[in-house]
Structures are given as C-alpha cells and as structure tokens.
Amino acid sequence: MTEPDAETSASSSSPSAGRSASLALLLGALGVVYGDIGTSPLYALQTVFSIDNGAVRPTSGDVYGVISTVFWTITLVVSVKYVLFILRADNDGEGGVMALAALVRRVLGDVRGRAVALMALGVFGASLFYGDSVITPAISVLSAVEGLKVAAPSLSHVVVPVAATILTLLFVAQRWGTHRVGSLFGPVMVVWFAALAAGGLNEVVRQPRILAGLSPTYVGAFVFDHPYIAFIAMGAVVLAITGAEALYADMGHFGRKPIRRAWFAVVFPALTLNYLGQGALILRHPANHTSPFFLLFPGWARLPMVVLATVATVIASQAVITGAFSVSRQAVRLGFLPYLRIRHTSPHEVGQVYVPAVNWILYVGVLVLMLGFRSSERLATAYGVAVTGTFLITTTLFLTVARVHWKWAMWKVVLAAVVIGGAELTYFAANLTKVLHGGWLPLLIAVSVFTIMKTWERGRQIVTARRTEREGPLPAFVEKLRETKVTRVPGTAVFPHPTKETTPLALRANVEHNHVVHEHVVIVSALAQNVPHIPEADRISVDDLGYRDDGILHLTVRYGFQDEQNLASALRQAAAARGELGGELDLDPDQASYFVSRVTLRLTHAPGMRMWRKRLFLALANNAASPAEYFGLPEPRTVVMGQQVDI
C-alpha cells in the first residue's frame, strides 16, 4: 500500500516540474474530489432550520449549537477520519468502499466466513453509493438554481425546468467524456471556494462573536437543552459532510498528499468561514434562516453566484456520475455484475469510462426524483440515510484492516469505534427518523442494487458449476486429442475461457461436431485480482499444458479491477514478449480467429436459488454485453458458439 505513481514521479523530477505537477494534482483534487462537499453550504444550514416546521429556531443558543455541531462534525468525520486515517487504507493506491472491501477480503483470505460477510458489507456500501448518485445531482443542481428565488423572485416558476434541462444536458454529454472540460474543473472550484470564504468572512467581520461557535461546549449545551431537537437536527447536520466518501474514492486519481493539502489549505477553511458567516447572518437577521447562503452576498452579486453555484453543482454531479461508472466497472471485475458495455472516453486516462446502461438508469432516477420532490428542502429528507450508511460501512471495514493488517492495539480500535463510529451511528439513527418522509428512497435503491449484485454472484456460481460438468477436464481432453489424431487445420484459434482446469465449450464443440482442431490453439483466461492494477510485466503467464509440441497453450492474463480487459491487446503483448514468457508461443493476434463459448440458460426447479432470483439472473444474463465486445475482440474474426445450461 504505497503512494500513487503520479505523486512519486512529481517529486522525483526537477523542483519546478515537481511544483507544477503538485499544483496540477491539487487543482484536480479541488475540481473532482471536493465538488460534492464543497456545494453542501447551499442547502445544509437551510435544511437544519427548516426541519420539523422550524423545531430548530434562529435564536442565539440554537445558532451557536448548530454552528458548533457542523464544525465539529466536519472536523471529526472529514479531517480526522477520512483525511488523517482512511486515506492510509489504500488498496495499492486505490480507494473507495469496493476497493476497501476487496482489500479486506485479501487480508482475511484464510478466514472465509468473515471475509465473505465483510465483502457483502462492502457490496451494500457500493449499493448505497448508487442511491447517493441519484440524489446528489438532483439536490445539488436544484439548490443552486433555487437561488433565482432570491436573486429574481419573478423567475421562481422556472427553477425546476431549468434544473431538469441542465441535468439532461449533463447526462447526454457523458458519452463524449469529461477529459475535454476536466481541466476547467479545478480553476472553477478555486473561484467557488474563494467566494465561499469571502461571503462568510464578510459576515464574520460584522458579527465576530459567532467565532465562539467553534467551541465544542456549544454542542453539549445544544444537546443538553434540547435533546430531541438536537437528535433530529443531526439528521440535517450530516448534509454538511456529504461527499466525504469522495476523498477516499478518488485517491487513486490524485494521491493522498494533494487531497490532504487541498483540504487543509483551501476547502476546510473556506467551508468553516462560510458556515460561520451563515450563522452570523442568522444572528443578525433571524428571518434570513430560510435562505442563508445566497443572502450572504449583496444584491448585485446574487445572480452571478447563482450561475457560479450552478456550475459548481454540475461539477459535483459529474464527480458522482463518474464515480458510479467506476464502481460499476469494479463490480463487474469482482463478479458482482454481468458484463456491461464500457467505453473509454479518454485516449490517455484509463479511469475515464462511460457506461451507457448506468448513465441512463441514473438519468431516469434523477429526473423522477426532481419532478417528484420539486425542491432541495424536500430532497434533503431523502439524502442522509445513504451517506451515513456508507460512513458506517467504511468505518467497519477500515477498523478491520487496522486491526488485522496494521496490527493496531485493541484499545485503539475500540477508541476509534466509540468516538467516530458512535458519532456516525448517531447521524444514521437520526436519519432513520426520516425514512417515511423520503429516506426510504436511497434504501430502496441500495436494497435493489444489492439484490441484483448478490443474485448475479450466486447465479454465476451455479452456472459455473453446471457448466464445468459439461466442459470436462482440460488435461483429459488434451490427452484424447493426442490419441485420436484429430485433423489439424491451418491458423490460430483463440478461446477465451475462465480457467485452465476445464475445456472451453467452443473447443469441445469444434472437435465433436467439426472434427477439426486449428494448428495453433490458445486458451486465454482473464483473471480479476483483488488489487486495482497489475503491472504489465506481471500480467501474462504461459502454460504448455504438459506438451510443447501439440500447438495447444494456455495463457493467463491477470487484471486489476481498474485495468482495461482487452484480450486482443494482451495477445499482442504476449506475442511481442514470447521469448521472455516461456512456452512455444507462436501466434499472430491480427490473423487469429476467436471462438467465444456462450451458454443459453433454461429455467428449472433445481435447487440453488428461489425462482424469482433465477428470473432476475436470467434477465441480467440476457441483457449483458457480449463477451466479445467486453474483451475487445475483433468482430469479423469472432465466432460465438453456445450450449444450453439449466439453472
């Protein structure tokens, strides 16, 4: 678990080049990592003072209590938990709940029951992220456009149509990728955070007594004076830290140092000043608690701030959408989703992908959500459950890594669980009170996605077991070929197949029905590992299956869950390195024919899964992308051969 190469290379070059690279990474982190949490001031305090028809009042005691609670929530969860601790728990430089779950499965490899349970917990955390991915674009863009109600009240009726149009353009633009506009994200967010700090500082100078709200004693006083109201307020306070998971999820793109520097040098001070400024404004004019963010700014600046806020929320939404694409690809690699059509949108960045199915499902969900709730205040009731659930899961997985892998003393684990986990459990419990008022939505999305992932995993295990029976052992098949002297035809045949233990169905069918075998046969197994990346030098190995003169070889290609799985490219690499790999590897990847084994599934009442899960698995399998397309095989030279398998 080491720092990403981008960071290392920056420091190893000349001082000026190193500074330029570090600045570029810091700007990139501001543009991508902090888009979500950076736009939380738009709606967080406004929501706190609107819960339960104004249960939290704009009095000095409540204002100080809320500001103190927000500040210490950000400090504890973001600064301490994520920035200081969680960023250390990288899976070969990659972060995110799925990467962390894969790391847990790796370090607990010999403790099967615990590893499976914690991996399932990670899958549910990823499922909660999909709920977040639907809500974030809707609430962020809507809250920004709602600034029109303050800047130009006569335009209030166009808020929802404008927000829907912006989001439609955003999702349509995904097919072209974000690399063309990504370079603008950082500078725009620098302007955004500068505006946050300036607007807040102006009010703090007018009301310097608000600085007393930084004292944690006001949290205790708020809870002691109004225990129930404080508990309910926690469900809205957590909106101030939405997007904290992005710090960890995007670590592989920027490295931990740029993310830490951006947080402590820019984001944390700007957010603190802005929340203090909103509190000072409410103290000075209690009626302004209905829209404290935009009222921080003078009348002439409000319309430009609406425009800037809209751009910032589009950037925040883009980061979440991109994250959903990345999580989907990781889930496919780890065996929790079927093959999905994945397009790479950048010629330089392998991490920039477009997943059409996920894009349009998210778009429909976002649009339905926006048209159903029609305001950021109502949407906020649905937001916290997904966020706090993900926090708890990440903490659980992290503490497992800390105890098992890092050998933390038990008292450290218990202390972290009580302080950080206890706070997050309080936020989660407070948000459960909103389940009937919209909080059911992210839970429904998460449960649905989790059911799909676990059904696919289980169904794939059943199909693999029954398919293995039909395939038969590969060593016995090779022996039979040598004994029967089957006709060999010129050319190279490549058979993608998950293992070298069994015979590809397409190879068996070619022998049994066509009575021929190609002169050169290459069986290729693509193996997904529990690490993000496999170096090219370690990616390929060759096995002659016991005979160096029969023209049959097995090629193992190992991929991390962030690597592009392109078998044709791997074959070219293998052909170029034939002398280094061992084995009589004689093939021309650009002339080879590819034979893909594809099974046709038939529903039966055989044990293994309930019938409704079998129907779901069948629907997923029927709508999966073609293996030929997924593995980057050339269509004109690819033959798909199928057999029927019962489930």
Q: Which of 222-236, 396-410, 498-512, 559-573 has the lowest mean pLDDT?
A: 559-573
CA 561 from centre of chain: 12
State residue 8's pLDDT score. 39
What local confidence, expressed as pLDDT, does residue 9 receive? 38
Whether domain 5-9+38-438 has CATH 1.20.1740.10: the reply is yes
For the ranges 10-24, 393-407, 464-478, the lowest mean pLDDT is seen at 10-24
475: tokens are: 């060593």
Percentage of residues in the chain having pLDDT higher than 70: 90
How would you classify the pairing of strands 353-354 and 516-528?
Answer: unpaired
CA distances from 49 to 52, 203, 204, 246 (A): 9, 19, 20, 27
pLDDT at 290 over 60: yes
Residue 12's pLDDT band (cuts 50, 70, 90)? very low
Higher-confidence residue of 323 and 279: namely 279
pLDDT tens-digit readout, 125-144: 888 888 888 888 888 888 88
d(CA 419, CA 312): 33
Write out pLDDT tens, residues 416-471: 999 999 999 999 998 888 787 777 888 888 899 999 999 999 998 888 888 777 87
Please report the sign of the dihedral spanned by the C-alpha atoms of residue 253, residue 254, residue 260, residue 263: negative
Instruction: Say if residue 578's pLDDT is above 60.
Output: no
What stretches of 582-635 adopt beta strand conformation (E)?
593-602
CA–CA separation, 261 and 22 (whole Å): 10
User: Closest Cα partner for 178 from 348, 401, 298, 293?
Assistant: 348
pLDDT of 508 above 80: yes
Q: For 79-97, how does the pLDDT look when each residue is reduced to its tens digit (9 = 90+)? A: 999 999 998 887 777 777 8
| Averaged pLDDT for residues 210-224 | 92
What integer pLDDT is reported at residue 535 of this predicted model?
A: 81
Task: Name the 3-class secondary structure at 502.
Answer: strand
Lowest-confidence pick of 1-10, 103-112, 411-420: 1-10
pLDDT at residue 218 above 80? yes
Binned at pLDDT 50, 70 and 90, residue 268 comes out as very high
Token reading at 22: 């570090």
Q: Which among 149-163, 412-426, 502-516, 560-574 has the top mean pLDDT?
A: 412-426
Residue 222 has pLDDT above 50, yes or no: yes
Confidence of residue 7 (pLDDT cuts 50, 70, 90): very low
pLDDT tens by residue, 15-61: 555 566 667 777 777 877 888 889 899 888 988 988 877 788 888 88
Give residues with Cβ within 8 angstroms of 466, minimum separation 6: 645, 646, 647
User: Is residue 91 within 8 Å of 73, Cβ to Cβ?
Assistant: no
Band of pLDDT at residue 345, cut at 50, 70 and 90 = low
> What is the C-alpha separation between 257 and 229, in angstroms, rounded?
39
Q: What is the pLDDT of residues 528-559, one digit of tens each?
A: 776 667 887 778 888 777 777 777 888 888 88
Rank 8-17, 192-201, 353-362, 632-641 by mean pLDDT and report only the highest.
Answer: 192-201
Per 3-state DSSP, what percentage of the chain is helix, strand, and coil (rounded to 5)?
70, 10, 20
User: Which candidate, 424, 533, 561, 32, places its Cα nearest to that of 246?
Assistant: 32
Model pLDDT, residue 580: 47
CA 625/CA 634 separation, integer angstroms: 15
Q: Within its chain, how far is the Cα of 233 from the centroid?
A: 28
Would you place residue 593 in the very low, low, confident or very high pLDDT band (cuts 50, 70, 90)?
Answer: confident
Residue pLDDT, tens place only, 486-504: 788 888 888 888 888 888 8
End-to-end CA distance of the chain: 41
- In this predicted structure, what is the pLDDT of residue 5? 40
Q: Lowest mean pLDDT: which of 26-30, 295-299, 385-389, 440-444?
A: 26-30
Q: Which helix (H) or strand (E) holds 640?
A: strand 638-646
**Where do you find CATH 1.20.1740.10 in the chain?**
5-9+38-438
CA proximity to 98, closest of 77, 118, 114, 113: 118
Report the distance separating Cα 633 and Cα 69, nearest Å: 55
- Count CB atoms within 10 A of the CB of residue 538: 8
More confident residue, 373 or 240: 240
Average pLDDT value for the chain: 82
Task: Please provide the size of the chain in residues.
Answer: 647
Tokens 């033959």 belong to 639
Spatial distance between the Cα atoms of 570 and 557, rounded to a whole number of angstroms? 7
Mean pLDDT of 267-280: 95
Give the integer Cα–Cα distance in Å for 198 and 192: 10
Residue 241 phi, psi dihedral angles, 5° rounding: -120, 15
Binned at pLDDT 50, 70 and 90, residue 10 comes out as: very low
* Helices and strands, number each (H, E), in the chain: 29, 8
Asked whether the predicted pLDDT for residue 232 surpasses 50, the reply is yes
Closest C-alpha to 40, from 215, 223, 244, 191: 244
The CA distance from 291 to 30, in Å, is 25
The pLDDT, as a whole number, for residue 562 is 66
Q: What percent of the chain has pLDDT over 90?
A: 19
Report pLDDT for 2. 40
d(CA 584, CA 136): 54
3-state SS, residue 368:
helix
> Has residue 4 got a pLDDT over 70?
no
* pLDDT at 13 (0 to 100): 41
Could you write out the DSSP letters of every residue in 139-195?
HHHHHHHTTHHHH-GGGGGGHHHHHHHHHHHHHHGGGG-STTTHHHHHHHHHHHHHH
